[in-house]
Each structure stands twice: as C-alpha cells, then as structure tokens.
Amino acid sequence: MEIRIGLIGAGWMGKAHTNSFVNALLNFGPEYGKPIFEVVSDVSAEAAQKASETLGYSRWTTNWQDVVTDEHIDIVDIATPNAFHYEIAKAALENGKHVYCEKPLTLSSEQSLELAEIAKAKGVVNYVGYNNVMNPATAYIKELVDTGKLGDIVGFFGTYAQDSLLDPDLPITWRHINKYSGSGALGDLGLPLVKCFPVYFGKY
C-alpha cells in the first residue's frame, strides 16, 4: 500500500519527519505502507526547492493550501511553527486528509477538541507527534510509578536545559515568542509525564 505524503514546513522538523517515514519503512516493511513523498511546501521557495531535492519530494510549492487540497495526497504532515498548526490541520481534515502534526496540535484545548471532532466526522486520522511518550526512559518511569516502587507521588519538579541559545549571534525565532510558540518546552516535553503520573495530574 502506498501512502502519499504532503509535507508543510521544510525546516529541521520536516526533515526529521521525513526521515521517520523512511525509517518506518526500513524497520517494518512496505506491508504497513510505503511512503511516497509527493510534495513539500514552505514559505521560502529556496527551502522548499532544496527539501524537494534533498529529501526526495517530487514537487514543491510555497502555498500550503496547494498541499491540503491536492487529490494525490493521503497524509498532510505539518511541521510548521506552532501558531500555524490549527489552521493548516483544520483545512487538511476538512479536505478529508489524514493529518500527522508536530506537537502541539493547537494552542488551545478548544481548538484541539474542534479538530478531533472534525477528524471523527470525516473518518480520518488526526495524529500528533508526541514521540517522547514512546521513549524507553519515559516508559521506565511509568513502570516505576505503576508498580509503586516510588511510593505515593505527591509532587513533581522538572527542569529542561538547552544550550542552543548560548550563541550570541543566534537570531530570535518564533520559538522565543509566546504567541507563536504556545506552551513551549512544557508542551513539547511535558506531556509524556502526564502519561507517567495520570493520577497526580488528574487529581491536582
């Protein structure tokens, strides 16, 4: 079975998603679906063209709406800045496309619920890439909690440190602006902990 993919966002995450499709094919075989890289979109024509050439997409465009309305596309892969996920995902779902969206799906629970209801009505998959849920370290923490080895969990404190901003010449990007990034590191890395501590987070 061939799965025809349209990627929106040709940056680092778009490359990561494309590599993941390739790795899935190598690890599980074509019986689970063979990815066909149909079209890649980015606001930068240079980035879109380069991604098409280096990642193996047949076509490229600077208009994401070309992707969500393309009759040859089965899955719309959204790898744009967070603030644009909702609009693109909604348009894709309304056009009957399956969606693979980088986290977070939207910047509000109301918008996420809306998209879930559209996906259900259209009979398509609306998948969000919370990959850390499958991280072995996360699974081990959940095992420790479930078996009671850590006792009763009454609180949790976590930190996230990244040295990528130590370079003084690094420009400000959408990740550093709240209205575009949304929940930031908490949404990116915190959700797997909800899977580990469901009683704690659910109760408090």
Residue-wise pLDDT tens digits, 7-31? 999 999 999 999 999 999 999 898 8
Rounded Cα distance, 107 and 69, in Å: 24
What six digits make up the tokens of 49?
């063209």
Going across the sheet that includes 75-78, the strands are 59-61, 34-41, 2-8, 75-78, 98-101, 126-128
Average pLDDT score over the chain: 87
pTM of the model: 0.85
Residue 191 confidence (pLDDT): 64
pLDDT beyond 90 at 189: no
Residue 60 Cα distances to 21, 42, 50, 153, angstroms? 18, 8, 9, 50
Residue-wise pLDDT tens digits, 133-182? 777 888 888 888 889 898 888 877 777 777 877 888 888 888 778 788 77
- The letter for the amino acid at 150 is L
pLDDT beyond 90 at 65: yes
Residue 178 confidence (pLDDT): 78
pLDDT beyond 60 at 38: yes
| Closest by CA position to 125, among listed 81, 74, 87, 85 | 74
pLDDT beyond 80 at 112: yes
pLDDT beyond 70 at 66: yes
Residue 199 confidence (pLDDT): 47
